[in-house]
Amino acid sequence: MRNVLTVCPYCGCGCGLYLRVDGKKVLGTLPSKEHPISHGQLCLKGWNVHSFIHSSQRLREPLVKADPAGTYRGTGWDEAYSLITKRLMEIQKKYGSNSIGIIGSAKCTNEESYLLMKFARSVLGTNNIDSCVRLCHAPTIAGLGDSFGFGAMTNSINEIENAKVILVIGSNTTEEHPIVGTRILKAIDQGANLIVVDPRRTQIANISHLHLQPAPGTDLILISGLIRIIIEENLANFDFISRRTENFEVVKESVKKFTPEYVEKTTGLSFSNLRETALMYGHSKASMIIYGMGITQHINGTDTVQAFANLAMLTGNIGRESTGVNPLIGQSNMQGACDMGVLPDYFSGYQSIKDKKNVAKFEKAWSTKLPADKGLSFMEMIKRARQGKIKAMYIVGENVLLSAPNINEAIEALSHLEFLVVQDMFLTETAQLANVVLPSASFAEKNGTFTSTERRVQRIRKCIEPLGGTKPDWQILSELAQRAGYTEMKNKNPREIMEEIASITPIYEGISYEKLDNTAGIQWPCFDKSDTGATFLYKDSFASGKAYFIPVDFTQGSEVPDKEYPYFLIAGRREFQFHTGSMTRKSPTLEREFPYGLVEINPNDADDLKVKSGWRVKIASRHGELETNVSITTAVPEKTVFIPFHFKEGAANLLLGNSDLDPKSKIPEFKVCAVKISSI
Amino acid sequence: MNNVKILFKEDINKFVQICLKEAKVIAPFKTTYGDTIFSPVTSPSEVVIDHGYENSIIPPKEFFLPQEETMLTYGRYKEGYKFKPSLADESKRIIFGIRPCDVSAILFLDRFFRSDIEDIYYLKKRENTALISFCCHEPQETCFCICTDSGPFLTYGFDLQFIDLEDRYFVEIGTPKGEKLIKFNKNLFKDVSVADEKLRQEIVESTKNKFKSARAYFSKTIRKLSEGKVDRNVWDELGQRCFSCGGCSYVCPTCSCFDVADLLRSRDGYSRIRTWDSCMFAGFTKEASGHNPRLEKKDRVCRRYYHKLSYQYVEKNETHGCVGCGRCIVTCLGNINMPVVVEKIRRS
Amino acid sequence: MKKIIKELNIYQPHSARIIKIHPQIQGHRLFLVKFEDDKISRNFTYKPGQFMELTVFGSGEAPFSLSSSPTRPGIIEFCIRQTGKVTDSLFRLSPNSLIGIRGPYGNGFPIEKLENNDLLIVAGGLGMAPLRSLLRYVLDSRERFGEVTLIYGGRNPDDMLFKYELLDLLDSPEMNCLLSVDRDDSGTWPACIGPVTALFDRIKVEARSTYAAICGPPIMYKYVLEKLFERNFSYDRILMSLERHMKCGVGKCGHCAIGYKYICMDGPIFTYQEALDLPEAV
Ligand SMILES: Cc1cc2nc3c(=O)[nH]c(=O)nc-3n(C[C@H](O)[C@H](O)[C@H](O)COP(=O)(O)OP(=O)(O)OC[C@H]3O[C@@H](n4cnc5c(N)ncnc54)[C@H](O)[C@@H]3O)c2cc1C
Ligand code: SF4
Ligand code: SF4
Ligand code: SF4
Ligand code: FES
């Protein structure tokens, strides 16, 4: 029995765990006690990570679609590579490089993400590369990037313990990021005040001191209202504002319109609660803002994130321990995928492609010519594919169909393609549309690094050889690039790829496997060999000197309930399943815990609708409809329903539209949608 | 006295070497990362039994009831289906350096898996395994075996028990199995002198004083719990904090619930697998009708502590179901653990 | 460590063959099963109220009550409702298919105690499955028991398990068979129409010399118990069959524990008196 220390592949907390390996089998999981995040603890998903590795549903050989009816034929790697390079080159020649789109994954390692972006930009010659971050945290990357410099958590998970006031907003923390949840509990036990803003009464809301349930989609108004109150109550930290920030006056002016009356009317909250929140947050010297996808997946996503930044700067709650603006990133390596430049507008380390110097630097390093035009984002690619302008897509480890809003449109888009390649461990719904499916190895079968939500870059380690017939994603990409005649991607191993990353990515410059092997990870930025990383950012200065106050205003999305569609739908994640469930649903324990899709309905609404727990209902929106089971609970307020998005049998995304994109980050309006419900 | 011996510390490696020749040795192993895990070892240098070594993250119950165990395999044959039991290999094993609390827990599990109907998957492995226990001299912050009467010094249960007397070990022989290991190596083990006896006594006394005096007072709690006199608020409060991670059951050396699933694990057939399970999951009790007798987290927390502490179970299991190892203190995401619950109930 | 007493693997299923499948009501079927090994088949015996673990290859194992009676050895019967993974695949099987089977488990009805007493059997829904075993047993050894009464109700005639078999018993001199449906659209139902509770008013039972055996959905217990208390049944003369999520069937997996009892070992048949002592039972 060997015990291999690695990192949990599920949420972004980045727990350290041992996989227990007996010969060729991974038979168990146990938490590391010395690890700074897991502390001998794991959530249920973590305790069961080993259970999907040997699933009989894992793909074991490359598949090629044999006929239009969708039957697959297994082939060798050689044939699959030939077919892929041939078809991609043809399409590239015929329609140009920008007719190809690439979608990366938040489950791949940094090394793989880096290779994918290199592959896209140098082999395929396009900047059309993006990942599901567009569907989760693009507003964080854009918003915090503009305000502070980096689109990442400003502080660290362990600092939460010592915070005095914690504002949790749009995050079902105990279910989505359990380890962050434990730190919040600990902080409360040590006397901290917790304010939770969430339309649903989640577990964390239950233990909060103050639970605000604003109308869905109005968080920006709420935050702007808080800013106004703090200014009026004279709690602004003018010393900090003048020393470290710019543009405060404009924001001060812009929040004037968020009068108590206006805020009360739009959010449905009482002014006294707002004032209490503002005073709590403003008075404390250790106030942390923690937010999740409840904030970002909105048409106002980026603006709201920037409003958080304004709130933090206003009170000087940034640049110190136990303060800051802290996005909780949903997946194990979503942060890493962004860091590695799986983005249409950045190279690795957020080096903009708009900057000629960067382009030149990468062209030199990769000895190739790079495209200069900004690429398409995830939703734009889907849209163009539907219009027939994107002809081919290359998707790595992402079940696009279940995670993209408006599944019907996504299916249509992918079916329109002339050529689709999917690299995945399972024959997911998306893979079933592909022309070629390449079987990838799981996280237990490869080396690499993940970057957690708190910017912690840490090693994942190979425990067993890739299951017969599969290959790690990095190897597939490297081999494919060579097939395509590109010789700069002959990578022997992930260690070597990391060396390359460090050599051209300043925030990763000081990171190497030697250093990672002896630590529980390094929190970037890590600029040189002696640098041990940063637990919190912006201690002495912001990325470009001063932080910037950005005025924001509220835009009403098109998804408002009306007579025909009277209910607000919120879509989200539940604790025992993870994302689209392609891994978690293979675990008997996790599947048993939460086996079918459901819709949560308030008892009063259930009375109105005359439905009972367990009944089937039809839910329809302006974009689609689905059937699911009713679960009656007071956790959702009246006129609001909640649907988790893990189940193909009742995928919330069938209902969501995608016409409303946040203009700044291109994230689709994801969290809210107006629906009607009828019993069947 | 002939059931006690002395082993000088400089000879301990020789003894490990001998054990390695006799059987597969499982010992506390320190990962490069500093975590202690029980693991099969191949040389004495891998065995970490320095003074006050930390107990493992998960208990040695995993060697009798593994996290995942194949019980049977079956596949289609010409003449139909055949079930092939997959009983563990029957080679001898020694768990070297097991802590007294975990020995007590294994005795607890022995009784459980033997009672009424015998579970040979557990018992076969158990029969082939000798336990060499090392008494604790430096209790961890979280240890409270002294309150549960399951350590740090045992009077029975072990095959051999080692007590650290500075430069030598005081070795107590608990069973013929242990006796045999010593008999083979007469020249390593010396006779015990009166001074050794005296020192042993002193060390036992002084060690007991190192435990934070009575971390948990059980008797009042047991009474309240058994008579159903615990205030509902206690469970409400605890239920609010539970994340349903199952960790408390996974790491508890006396928890033994399991789930069974038939999985396709190779091309030629299915495996019936049993895995650790936990009463902290809603799916643990959900019935075919959809009805769930323990729907809420608070009901499940209550269940766990009822099982560990009620008279009814104490009578059935001959003791309460906690050996004071403190692992639930470490692993619980919501800081719900034996001492906290005992204290809450006592005060309610 | 004491020696292992029996070198017996309790988890090892035996091969068995489905001999026949009788469709019952919507979503329910009666499976007739025989051990492949004749020796096992010959020596196999059980008590009414016991259950067995069936394996459907590739899907898993689940517990089902025996519906047949040991008085008719050889073929054993299970009345099964389709609810999920295992039962779905079971319903896909055809006669002559092989399944795995182990058991019998559980305590079963305390037959010795029941002997020479009157018997009141009250069933609801699938609760008829174990009670049919008891009924057959009693009718097959009629002389050992006193008066026998069955009360069984459903929403409509299509809801009644073992319908024809039970209708045959309506005029039986051996017993008093009371069947009732809430509604009968077909107009052909030969027995009572109306709530099951009404049937209680038509029976005469002597509480001191009668045992009541009840099995059905949780809501049924409530009103049946009320009726029995009205007639001064003592708690230890009421026998009920409890159901829980089960895995192993042999007291090891922990799933079926209620309070300090394991339904699979100490039950599934409990007297009301015993059930009262279990904190989570009722
Ligand atoms: C003592 C006993 C006797 C029974 N007798 C009969 C009978 O005669 N006829 C009959 O049709 N059914 C009987 N059942 C119920 C039967 O065991 C379940 O319907 C069956 O386990 C469902 O399995 P499944 O795989 O088809 O459903 P699954 O897909 O496993 O699950 C469906 C639902 O049932 C729950 N469940 C899973 N396993 C069990 C289990 N072992 N016990 C209870 N709930 C479970 C699950 O949590 C889930 O909610 C009996 C159960 C017990 C405990
Ligand atoms: S899912 Fe998140 S909290 Fe759970 S073990 Fe994995 S990293 Fe930790
Ligand atoms: S209840 Fe906690 S302290 Fe007691 S034996 Fe179990 S894990 Fe150890
Ligand atoms: S360890 Fe704690 S949080 Fe996890 S299930 Fe047990 S009581 Fe709940
Ligand atoms: S079914 Fe396993 S203990 Fe009862």
- Tens digit of each residue's pLDDT (9 = 90 or more) over C70-92: 999 889 999 999 988 899 999 99
C232 lines ligand 1 (CB under 6 A): no
Per CB-CB distance under 8 Å, the chain B contacts of A574 are none
**Domain-located, residue A559:** no
The closest of C204, C209, C177, C207 to C113, measured between CA atoms, is C209
> What span, in angstroms and rounded, lies between the C-alpha atoms of A579 and A333?
13
A101 plus A154 within the same structural domain: no
B240 lines ligand 4 (CB under 6 A): no
Strands (E) in A185-342, as ranges, are: 193-197, 210-212, 245-246, 287-291, 325-327
B221 lines ligand 4 (CB under 6 A): no
Ligand closest to Cα of B308 equals 3
Per CB-CB distance under 8 Å, the chain B contacts of A34 are 33-35
Contact C15 B82 (CB under 8 A): yes
CA-B331 nearest atom, ligand 3: 7
Pairing mode of beta strands C269-271, C238-241: antiparallel
Q: What is the pLDDT of residue C99?
A: 92
A121 plus A144 within the same structural domain: no
Closest residue in chain A to residue B58, using alpha carbons only:
A30
A279 reaches B (C-beta below 8 A): no
User: Which residue out of A6, A7, A15, A454 has the highest number of ligand 2 atoms within 8 Å of its CB and is therefore the one to mutate?
Assistant: A15
A639 plus A620 within the same structural domain: yes
> What span, in angstroms and rounded, lies between the C-alpha atoms of B253 and B112?
13
CB-based contact A44:A181 (threshold 8 Å): no
B163 lines ligand 3 (CB under 6 A): no
For residue B280, how far is its CA from the centre of ligand 1 (angstroms)?
20
Q: Choose among C9, C248, C265: nearest Cβ to B260.
A: C248
- Chain C segment 15-74 residues within 8 A of B by beta carbon are 15, 36, 55, 57-61
Q: In what order do the strands lie in the sheet with A448-451?
A: A448-451, A456-460, A522-523
Contact C260 B316 (CB under 8 A): yes
User: Which residue out of B235, B255, B325, B336 has the highest number of ligand 4 atoms within 8 Å of its CB and is therefore the one to mutate?
Assistant: B336
Between 3.40.50.80, 3.80.30.20, 3.30.1380.10, 2.60.120.10, what CATH number should domain C111-241 receive? 3.40.50.80
Contact B243 A31 (CB under 8 A): no
For residue A313, how far is its CA from the centre of ligand 2 (angstroms)?
31
Contact B270 C61 (CB under 8 A): no
Chains in contact with A via at least 3 Cβ–Cβ pairs below 8 Å: B
The closest of C28, C220, C31 to C123, measured between CA atoms, is C220
Q: Which residues contact A574 (CB under 8 A, 6 or more apart)?
A: A175, A594, A644, A646
A169 plus A194 within the same structural domain: yes
> What span, in angstroms and rounded, lies between the C-alpha atoms of A537 and A525?
8
Cα torsion angle, C56, C60, C61, C62, sign: negative
> What span, in angstroms and rounded, lies between the C-alpha atoms of A434 and A432?
6
CA-A592 nearest atom, ligand 1: 47
Helices B218-226 and B338-347, interaxial angle, to 10°?
A: 70
A269 plus A348 within the same structural domain: no
The closest of B4, B14, B272 to B121, measured between CA atoms, is B272
Query: What is the count of structural domains for chain A?
Result: 4
A494 plus A642 within the same structural domain: no
Contact C58 B123 (CB under 8 A): no
Return the bridge partners of A666, or none.
Answer: none
> What span, in angstroms and rounded, lies between the C-alpha atoms of A116 and A394?
10
Contact C58 B316 (CB under 8 A): no
> What span, in angstroms and rounded, lies between the C-alpha atoms of B238 and A532?
39
CATH number at residue A385: 3.40.50.740
**Domain-located, residue A461:** yes
B71 reaches A (C-beta below 8 A): no
A434 plus A579 within the same structural domain: no
The closest of A445, A421, A424, A443 to A434, measured between CA atoms, is A421
Which token pair is C239? 């026998």
For residue B258, how far is its CA from the centre of ligand 5 (angstroms)?
9
B322 lines ligand 3 (CB under 6 A): yes
> What span, in angstroms and rounded, lies between the C-alpha atoms of A414 and A391?
9
CA-A13 nearest atom, ligand 2: 7
For residue A41, how far is its CA from the centre of ligand 2 (angstroms)?
9
C56 lines ligand 1 (CB under 6 A): no
- In a mutational test of the C interface, the residue from B114, B224, B267, B289 whose CB has the highest number of chain C CBs within 10 Å is B289
What DSSP letter does each residue of C17-41 carry, written as one string? Answer: EEEEEEE-STTEEEEEEEESSHHHH
Contact B333 A181 (CB under 8 A): yes
Q: Which residues contact A260 (CB under 8 A, 6 or more apart)?
A: A225, A229, A271, A274
Residues in chain B, pLDDT under 70: 1-2, 77-80, 88, 212-216, 267-268
**Domain-located, residue A361:** yes
Q: Which residues contact A249 (CB under 8 A, 6 or more apart)?
A: none
Which token pair is A667? 């994230």
The residue extents of the domains of chain C are 2-105, 111-241
Residues in chain A, pLDDT under 70: 573-586, 594-596, 645-652, 657-659
A225 plus A299 within the same structural domain: yes
Contact B334 A182 (CB under 8 A): yes
Of A471, A501, A523, the residue at which a domain comes to its end is: A523
A44 reaches B (C-beta below 8 A): yes
Q: For C175-230, how does the pLDDT look when each residue is reduced to its tens digit (9 = 90+)?
A: 888 888 888 888 888 888 888 888 888 888 888 899 999 998 877 888 889 889 98
A434 plus A573 within the same structural domain: no
Q: What is the pLDDT of residue A195?
A: 97
Per CB-CB distance under 8 Å, the chain C contacts of B306 are 259, 279
Q: What is the pLDDT of residue A349?
A: 94
**Domain-located, residue A71:** no
Which token pair is A515? 């250093």
**Domain-located, residue A552:** no
Q: Choose among A2, A34, A592: nearest Cβ to B33.
A: A34
Domain ranges, residue A651: 567-679
**Domain-located, residue A67:** no
Which token pair is B313? 């179970």
Contact B277 C2 (CB under 8 A): no
Cα torsion angle, C94, C98, C100, C102, sign: positive
Please indicate whether the domains covering C2-105 and C111-241 agree at the CATH topology level. no
Chains in contact with B via at least 3 Cβ–Cβ pairs below 8 Å: A, C
User: Which residue out of B143, B254, B276, B343 has the highest number of ligand 3 atoms within 8 Å of its CB and is therefore the one to mutate?
Assistant: B254
CATH of domain C2-105: 2.40.30.10
Count of other CB atoms within 10 angstroms of residue A369: 11
Q: How far is residue A109 CA from its own chain's centroid?
A: 14
CB-based contact A84:A482 (threshold 8 Å): no
Q: Which residues contact A307 (CB under 8 A, 6 or more apart)?
A: A220, A223, A224, A227, A552
C13 reaches B (C-beta below 8 A): yes
> What span, in angstroms and rounded, lies between the C-alpha atoms of A31 and A142?
34
Count of other CB atoms within 10 angstroms of residue C183: 13
Q: What 3-state DSSP class applies to A235? A: coil
- Chain C segment 202-231 residues within 8 A of B by beta carbon are 217-218
Q: Choose among C15, C84, C253: nearest Cβ to B81.
A: C15
For residue B291, how far is its CA from the centre of ligand 5 (angstroms)?
18
Q: For C87-137, how does the pLDDT look when each residue is reduced to its tens digit (9 = 90+)?
A: 999 999 999 999 999 989 999 999 999 999 999 999 988 999 999 999 999
Which token pair is B72? 């049977």
The closest of A228, A230, A198, A201 to A216, measured between CA atoms, is A198
For residue B259, how far is its CA from the centre of ligand 2 (angstroms)?
22
A279 plus A338 within the same structural domain: no
Residue identifier of the C-alpha nearest atom 1 of ligand 3:
B322
CATH number at residue A661: 2.40.40.20
CATH number at residue A235: 3.40.228.10
Cβ density class A592-620: b for 16+ within 10 Å, e for less: bbbbebbbbbbeebbeebebeeebebebb
* Residue B62 phi, psi (nearest 5): -60, -20
Q: pLDDT at residue C138 above 90? A: yes
A113 plus A159 within the same structural domain: no
Ligand closest to Cα of C66 equals 1
Per CB-CB distance under 8 Å, the chain B contacts of A42 are 245, 247, 331
CB-based contact B334:B241 (threshold 8 Å): yes
What DSSP letter does each residue of A29-86 carry, written as one string? Answer: EEE-SSSTTTTT---HHHHTGGGGTT-TTB--S-EEE-STT--EEE--HHHHHHHHHH
User: Which residue out of A5, A7, A13 has the highest number of ligand 2 atoms within 8 Å of its CB and is therefore the one to mutate?
Assistant: A13
CB-based contact C111:C47 (threshold 8 Å): yes
The closest of A80, A78, A46 to A63, measured between CA atoms, is A80
For residue A577, how far is its CA from the centre of ligand 5 (angstroms)?
27
CA-B327 nearest atom, ligand 3: 7
